[in-house]
Amino acid sequence: SGLIMAIPTSRILSLSVLLIAMMQLAHVSEASDVQEMSQEDHENAVDGNEVWLVEFYSPMCGSCKEFSPEFEAVAKAVGKSVKVGKLNIQKHMKYVNSLQGILDQGIPAVRLYDAHVHKDGIIVGTHHSAEEIIEFVQVNTEINPVNGEGIRLKMPVEGEL
């Protein structure tokens, strides 16, 4: 207790602010299972050989910020079999506007892509819980029936969320 008395109050306050800032930085820098995508990343995902779950979002959108932890939970649950990414619509507005109906239901918008089955992506929807999206992905994907390798979308897709 004598040590605390020897430190001026302003110094304790400064150290407290520094500690809080460090804790916030540590939280922000946690590794994410969701890949931040560029236009090129999205184009490669749409044309590629893997199934992708993609969120279209804006960093200024309150609903998108609220949905972010849900989407992270989805990525943790399905990320071993399905690639998970997000595309900032503000950075890539011209590109997003060129895509079929991405923003029709508002944001955050989530689509499931498999170039071999449905290149425009399957609408997963908006404002759903992690559990609902995980179930949708699990119900609508399967081991590739052609060669037994990788994951593919089942056809037909069982409804929209």
Supply the pTM of this predicted model: 0.74
Crossing angle between the packed helical segments 62-78 and 130-139, to the nearest 10 degrees: 50
pLDDT score at 95: 93
Q: Tell me the per-residue pLDDT of 108-159, one tens digit each, with 9 for 90 and over.
A: 999 998 877 777 788 887 667 899 999 888 888 877 666 666 667 776 665 5
| CA distance linking residue 89 with residue 108, whole number of Å | 10
For residue 108, cis peptide bond before it (omega within 30 degrees of 0): yes
Phi first, then psi, for residue 54 (nearest 5°) are -125, 130
Q: Tell me the per-residue pLDDT of 20-56, one tens digit each, with 9 for 90 and over.
A: 545 544 444 457 889 999 999 999 988 888 889 999 9
Q: What are the strands, taking DSSP E only, across the chain?
A: 35-37, 52-57, 83-88, 109-114, 118-125, 141-143, 151-153
DSSP state of 7: S
